[in-house]
Structure 1
Amino acid sequence: MRIVVALGGNVLLHRGERPDAAVQQANVERAVIALAPLAKDNELVITHANGPQIGLLAMESVSDPALSAPYPLDILGAQTQGMIGSLLARSLRGALPGRQVAALVTHTLVRTHDPAFQRPTEFVGQVYPRDVAHALARKRGWHVSRDTAGWRRIVPSPAPQGIVETDTVHTLLDSGALVVCCGGGGVPVTSDRITGELTGVEAVVDKDLTAAFLAEELKADFLLILTDVPNVYTDFGTPRQRPLLDVTPAQLLDRAGPAGPMRPKAEAAARFVDRTGALAAIGALDAAYAIVHGTSGTLVRPQLVFE
């Protein structure tokens, strides 16, 4: 079975943890322990989040006096793919002796005129006092908005339209390799219609939607979205909270709620199942094997149609 696994940001760096290298290494090793049993009997493609990591690099870039301007987000995103991809690849090789593992820097095509460029929504980088945030916005041409702890930069999150390296991933899978790719949703780029030249853009692509897009392109049998909770819940955070165990895409989107951190995961899972007729699931990292075998998590299956 071909499985695309999407590792959430809170899998690689737990809430409240310092983004130290040793902390992230330990979390990667924990993730690999959970995934190794699946990798033994299945084709595995692993995608991952990069929110804390790209935020840290963006903060360092803005404050570096040696730079005349901060590094653009596409380059910072590529840096995080290299860092997290290396950690995952090394740990996977240790857990799966003899298995070929490839960590691939991946580019995601977006539309130049995607409406998201007019409505930035994704927080990136550090928290600032209001006056500092607005001063930086004027100086850098940023958009800023209030977050829970203060003011932060916000950037566009355009929808994925293609993955440049899809054929390369196919080739690697056909050779028997386990592939790590599409980190942080992929490096966002536009493509010149005539020359095909790729140009990076100041944006971040939703990692779960990219994972769903990749799974569709690879004709995957299963999209596994892993996070730090065991299920998607209806009425989350209220006394009526209940886990969703087995749902169709429509039921998932209706019951998961209109907003919140679980919404993009629900939309990605629903999109993949609707468009392919395959299976998706959302659940906790440590239960990865059990989720695929139907004993944990929230399973998303196609709507049955009766003649």
Structure 2
Amino acid sequence: MRVVIALGGNALLKRGEPMTADMQRQNIRIAAEAIAPIAAEHQIVITHGNGPQVGLLALQGAAYKPDEAYPLDVLGAETEGMIGYMLEQELGNLLPFEVPFATLLTMVEVDGSDPAFRHPTKFVGPVYEADEAAKIHQDKGWFFKQDGNKWRRVVPSPLPKRIFEIRPIRWLLEKGTIVICAGGGGIPTMYEPDKERTLVGVEAVIDKDLCSALLARELSADLLIMATDAEAVFTDWGTAEQKAIFKSNPEKLGTYSFPAGSMGPKVEAACHFARQTGQTAAIGALQDIAAILNAERGTIINSSFPDMTWHKPDRVPR
């Protein structure tokens, strides 16, 4: 099978952990250990988040004068290379020497008229106390929104339209390469108005789940797995009535509401992929990737399922 695996932020940096290279490598090693066992039998494409990493580079860039700081598209390209390097190395330490890897800096086209540019919503960078966020807003003009009991910077998150490197990704897969691409939703780019074929970077961050779904669709993937820190998609999360969804068609799953800052985009992207392609999408825990691939764990989404079924309480711990 051709499998696209979208690694959630927990695969790189958990909330509250220091943004050090050693900590990121420890988490990436865990992701590699989950992916390696299935790589021998399947074509694998890996995408990943990069919000904390982009935020860290933006903070480092704050040492420059405002007109010297690197824009978000360049920072996104930097993090794609950094994270791809670590993933390649940790996977390479587990898989046979002859298995090839490739990390592609991936440009993704967005629409300059996308309403997201008027309403920034995408979290990037570390969390702040309210007074600290207010000061940074005053000093640098950054926009902030509440994330839990802290505050984080938000930037525009336009919809992905096209993945420019889709052809080389296909070529690499045909040669048996494990491909790491579209990190952080890809590098946001667009054509300048009234300038034919003039591509420029955009100060934005594309949602990685929606981009992963677009990538999986354009690659004709058999399965899209969104690996996160939750064992499945839960209804009534955080309450005594919470239940873990096992299997569902996208129409039924789409009738439920999930938090916009966490599970919501994953469910939306998974349903979109399953509905458009007739293939399977899944959402579940990183350590369960092999079982998710066998439709034994996580939440499995396919249009052929007649209704929604639930995990037994002892199958998915609360």
- Please give the per-residue CA displacement for 1:244-265, whole angstroms capped at 9, x wherever unaligned: 0000112222235364410110
- 1:61, CA displacement in angstroms? 1.2
> Taking structure 1 as reference, are residues 215 and 55 closer, same or farther at Cα in structure 2, changes over 3 Å only?
same
- 1:123, CA displacement in angstroms? 2.4
> Taking structure 1 as reference, are residues 182 and 45 closer, same or farther at Cα in structure 2, changes over 3 Å only?
same
Mean Cα deviation higher: 37-46 or 138-147: 138-147
Q: Secondary structure at the match of 1:3?
A: strand
Could you tell me which residue of structure 1 aligns to residue 21 of structure 2?
Answer: 21
Question: What is the correspondence of 1:267-286 to structure 2 with a 5 Å cutoff?
Answer: 267-286=268-287
Aligned residues: 304
Could you tell me which residue of structure 2 aligns to residue 211 of structure 1?
Answer: 212
Distance 2:286 2:129 in 1: 35
Could you tell me which residue of structure 1 aligns to residue 70 of structure 2?
Answer: 71
- Please give the per-residue CA displacement for 1:169-225, whole angstroms capped at 9, x wherever unaligned: 011111111100000000100024753222111100000000000000000000011
RMSD of the TM alignment (CA)? Answer: 2.0
Q: Is the 8 A contact 2:53 2:125 kept in 1?
A: no
> Taking structure 1 as reference, are residues 132 and 289 closer, same or farther at Cα in structure 2, changes over 3 Å only?
closer
> Taking structure 1 as reference, are residues 149 and 65 closer, same or farther at Cα in structure 2, changes over 3 Å only?
farther
Q: Is the 8 A contact 1:256 1:262 kept in 2?
A: no
Question: What is the correspondence of 1:25-104 to structure 2 with a 5 Å cutoff?
Answer: 25-62=25-62, 64-65=63-64, 68-97=67-96, 98-104=98-104
Distance 1:41 1:142 in 2: 46
> Taking structure 1 as reference, are residues 273 and 76 closer, same or farther at Cα in structure 2, changes over 3 Å only?
same
Could you tell me which residue of structure 1 aligns to residue 316 of structure 2?
Answer: none
Distance 1:224 1:233 in 2: 16
Q: Is the 8 A contact 1:235 1:256 kept in 2?
A: no
Could you tell me which residue of structure 2 aligns to residue 196 of structure 1?
Answer: 197
- Please give the per-residue CA displacement for 1:32-73, whole angstroms capped at 9, x wherever unaligned: 1111111110110000011111111111211x1477542211
Determine what percentage of the aligned residue pairs are the same residue. 46
Question: What is the correspondence of 1:1-307 to structure 2 with a 5 Å cutoff?
Answer: 1-62=1-62, 64-65=63-64, 68-97=67-96, 98-127=98-127, 133-134=133-134, 136-137=136-137, 140-192=140-192, 195-257=196-258, 259-303=260-304
Q: Is the 8 A contact 1:73 1:204 kept in 2?
A: yes
Q: Is the 8 A contact 2:5 2:227 kept in 1?
A: yes
- 1:19, CA displacement in angstroms? 1.6
Distance 2:242 2:128 in 1: 35
**Structure with greater proportional helix content:** 1
Distance 1:117 1:266 in 2: 23
Q: Is the 8 A contact 1:9 1:48 kept in 2?
A: yes
- The amino acid of 1:15's aligned partner reads R
> Taking structure 1 as reference, are residues 197 and 5 closer, same or farther at Cα in structure 2, changes over 3 Å only?
same
- 1:10, CA displacement in angstroms? 1.1
> Taking structure 1 as reference, are residues 29 and 130 closer, same or farther at Cα in structure 2, changes over 3 Å only?
closer
What TM-score does the superposition give when structure 2 sets the normalisation length?
0.89
Distance 2:224 2:29 in 1: 21
Q: Is the 8 A contact 1:223 1:281 kept in 2?
A: yes
- The amino acid of 2:202's aligned partner reads V
Q: Is the 8 A contact 1:104 1:181 kept in 2?
A: yes
Q: Mind listing any 5+ residue stretches in structure 1 that lack a counterpart?
A: none
Could you tell me which residue of structure 1 aligns to residue 314 of structure 2?
Answer: none
- The amino acid of 1:3's aligned partner reads V
Q: Secondary structure at the match of 1:254?
A: coil
